[in-house]
Structure formats: structure tokens, C-alpha cells
Homo-oligomer: A and B are copies of this chain.
């Protein structure tokens, strides 16, 4: 079997996917109000109680939203001493990918966002969680960095709090991210689109380098 994930992790992913798929299907067929937790759980082959072990509410199941996760390998690769905006963008991108299900259900989600635009707000709240997570990471890494400790006396960072500097960096990266997302997609869900973002970001980074 696939050694990448343990049996436990694989089953967890399967259950999650089954619940999401069932919820999304119900939403498309019967409308959002027609989504009944009990039926969705039945369709996924688990109890209604288990549904709430995976999603805090119906809407998140329909959209396939999860709390953001920071991939340890990504954290390892993160270089606080390198190209800051690039590094943070890459980090944020990787975390962003984790709040929504894989490509299998991308089609379903796209149609749902189309039918129920107000649900986009729910996804926005998860993006805020992503920012918080990235911010915390950048803040701690920056605080421990040579870049911060040995910043020259004429650095524009002088006289500022580490927290404020980290906050501003993340916000800047985030703003660009949102700009790209707005421009590039109507429904930013699939991994393919995320990859497109990677390249668009490279481009943008060069453009903004002149502005910042």
C-alpha cells in the first residue's frame, strides 16, 4: 500500500473527502438549505456525530474547508535570510493550499461558489486563519534571525517592533496574493490554478520589486 500515509491517515482523508463530496453533491442537487447533516453522514457511511468531528458546520463541509496546516518540509525550506517577500509568499501559498480539498472535488466547489456567492465569506475567514498562522511563523523566525539581530543602524526597521515588522511583511505578501487571486481566478480552488499562481507570483514579484 501507499506508504506515504499511515492507514489511519488515509482513512481520515477518505472520510473527510466522502463527507465533503456528499455535502457538496447535496448542496448542488437540493440547494444549500437542503443539506441535511444526517443524510450527508449517511451517504458518507459514518454517524452524524462523526460529521462534526470533521467540520464545525454544514457550510464548511459543503465547501471542503479545513484549518490551515504548515507543512514541516515547507517550514524547513523557508529561509528567513533570503528573498523575504518571495519566501513569505511561497510559505503562504503552501499553507493556502491546505485549507481546501484536492482537485477531485474542485469541479463541485466551483459550481457551489457560483451558486452561493455569499459562501465566499466563509472561505475568507479561513484565509484570515492562514495569515495568522503564517504571521506567527514569520514573527518567530524573524525574531531569531541574524537579519533582525544584526540589522544595520540605518535599517528602516530600526525603531520598530519585530512583531510590527513581521506583521507588515505578511500583510504585504498577503495583499499581493489576493491581488493575483482576484485577477487570475473567479474560483480559486484547483491545484492547477494554484500552480498558475506560482508563476504569476514570480512575475509580480519582479514588477513590485521596482515599487517597494
Chain B residues contacting A42 (CB-CB under 8 Å) are 1
Chain A contact-residue range equals under 10
Q: Does A47 sit within 8 A of B, measured CB to CB?
A: yes
Counted per complex, copies of this chain come to 2
Q: Which residues of B contact A1 (CB under 8 A)?
A: 42
A interface residues, Cβ below 8 angstroms from B: 1, 7, 42, 46-47
3 contacts between A and B (CB under 8 A): A1-B42, A7-B46, A7-B47
* 3 smallest beta-carbon distances between A and B, as pairs: A7-B47, A1-B42, A7-B46
- CA A47 to CA B47, docked complex, whole Å: 21
Which residue of chain B is the closest to A10 with respect to CB atoms? Answer: B45
Determine the chain B residues whose CB is within 8 A of the CB of A7 once the complex forms.
Answer: 46-47
Nearest chain-B residue to A6 (Cβ)? Answer: B47
